[in-house]
C-alpha cells in the first residue's frame, strides 16, 4: 500500500516540530546552567591585584597626555568594588548580584553578571537552608567588540559593537542579545564617569588579551589638521 503524499508531509512536519521543541528545551535548560569564564584564574588574579582608582588614572592620563594600561585583574577588582546594579522592587529582595567579571580578549570584552536567587530568611542560624534547592546561581553575559578606526579627517573614534551574548550557557547571537542587554545598561548607568573617561574622552582604545590600552593622544594626521 502506497503512502500518500499528505502523510509524508505530516511526518516531515512532525519531525520539524519535535526537533524544534527539543532544541528549545535544550536551550532553556542551558539558560539555567551558569557560564564560567576561567573563574579560578580571574579570581586569583583579581585578589592579587593592587587596589587601583581607575578614575584618577584616566584623569591623569588625559591631563598629562600619556597612554595607560588597565589589566584584566585591575578591571575586575574595580567592578567588584562598584558592584551595585538596581533591580525592580518586585524581585529585589530575592536577587543578589554576587559577581561581575570581564574577560579581555583581542578586540573583545566579554562581561558576565552572576546573580543568586534565594528566598528572604531562607538561611537558618546554623547556616543550613530551609529550601535546600536554593540559592540558584544564574549568569548572563554580553560580548562587546571594541576597536578604534580613523575617520576621513584622520580622527580616531572608538567603535563598540554587540555581536552576541549568553543567557547561562545558551548562546544569544545577533539581535537576541537584547534579552540580556538591560542588565548591562544598568551596569553602564552605574559607571557613567568611567565610561566617559575611558571610551568617549580617549583618542584610541585597544583591547587585547588580558589588558586595555587607553591613549588620549590624537593621531599625527588629526593633530596636523588642528
Whether residue 100 lies inside any domain: the answer is yes
Give the pLDDT of residue 224.
Answer: 43
Whether residue 54 lies inside any domain: the answer is yes
Whether residue 78 lies inside any domain: the answer is yes
CA distances from 170 to 34, 44, 150 (A): 10, 26, 35
Whether residue 79 lies inside any domain: the answer is yes
Give the pLDDT of residue 119.
Answer: 77
Contact 124, 130 (CB under 8 A): yes
User: Total structural domains in the chain?
Assistant: 1
Give the pLDDT of residue 118.
Answer: 76
pLDDT in tens, the chain (226 residues): 455 555 777 666 666 666 655 555 555 555 556 666 554 455 555 555 567 889 999 999 999 999 999 999 889 888 888 776 655 444 556 777 888 889 999 999 999 988 887 777 777 777 777 777 777 788 888 899 998 777 777 777 888 888 888 887 777 777 777 878 888 888 888 889 999 999 889 988 999 999 999 999 875 444 444 4
Where do we find the cell 547556616?
Answer: 127
Rounded to the nearest 5°, which phi and psi values hold at 193? -65, -45
CA distances from 89 to 26, 142, 157, 178 (A): 31, 24, 39, 22
Whether residue 209 lies inside any domain: the answer is yes
Contact 118, 132 (CB under 8 A): no
Whether residue 105 lies inside any domain: the answer is yes
Structural domain that includes position 174: 32-225
Whether residue 18 lies inside any domain: the answer is no
Give the pLDDT of residue 145.
Answer: 93
Give the pLDDT of residue 33.
Answer: 61
- The greatest distance separating any two alpha carbons of the chain, rounded to the nearest whole angstrom, comes to 87
Which is nearest to 147 in space by CA: 111, 106, 101? 106
Whether residue 77 lies inside any domain: the answer is yes
Amino acid at each position: 500500500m502506497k503512502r500518500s503524499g499528505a502523510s509524508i508531509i505530516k511526518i516531515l512536519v512532525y519531525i520539524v516540530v519535535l526537533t524544534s521543541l527539543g532544541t528549545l528545551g535544550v536551550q532553556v535548560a542551558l539558560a539555567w546552567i551558569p557560564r564560567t569564564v576561567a573563574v579560578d584564574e580571574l579570581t586569583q588574579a583579581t585578589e592579587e591585584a593592587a587596589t587601583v582608582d581607575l578614575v584618577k588614572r584616566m584623569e591623569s592620563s588625559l591631563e598629562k597626555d600619556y597612554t595607560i594600561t588597565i589589566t584584566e585583574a585591575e578591571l575586575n577588582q574595580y567592578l567588584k568594588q562598584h558592584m551595585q546594579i538596581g533591580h525592580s522592587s518586585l524581585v529585589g529582595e530575592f536577587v543578589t548580584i554576587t559577581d561581575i567579571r570581564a574577560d579581555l580578549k583581542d578586540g573583545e570584552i566579554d562581561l558576565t553578571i552572576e546573580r543568586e536567587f534565594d528566598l528572604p530568611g531562607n538561611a537558618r542560624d546554623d547556616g543550613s537552608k530551609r529550601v535546600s534547592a536554593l540559592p540558584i546561581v544564574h549568569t548572563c553575559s554580553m560580548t562587546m567588540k571594541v576597536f578604534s578606526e580613523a575617520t576621513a579627517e584622520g580622527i580616531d573614534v572608538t567603535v563598540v559593537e554587540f555581536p552576541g551574548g549568553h543567557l547561562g550557557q545558551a548562546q544569544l547571537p545577533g539581535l537576541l542579545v537584547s534579552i540580556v542587554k538591560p542588565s548591562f545598561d544598568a551596569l553602564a548607568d552605574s559607571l557613567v564617569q568611567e565610561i566617559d573617561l575611558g571610551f568617549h574622552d580617549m583618542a584610541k582604545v585597544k583591547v587585547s588579551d588580558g589588558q586595555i590600552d587607553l591613549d588620549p593622544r590624537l593621531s599625527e594626521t588629526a593633530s596636523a589638521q588642528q
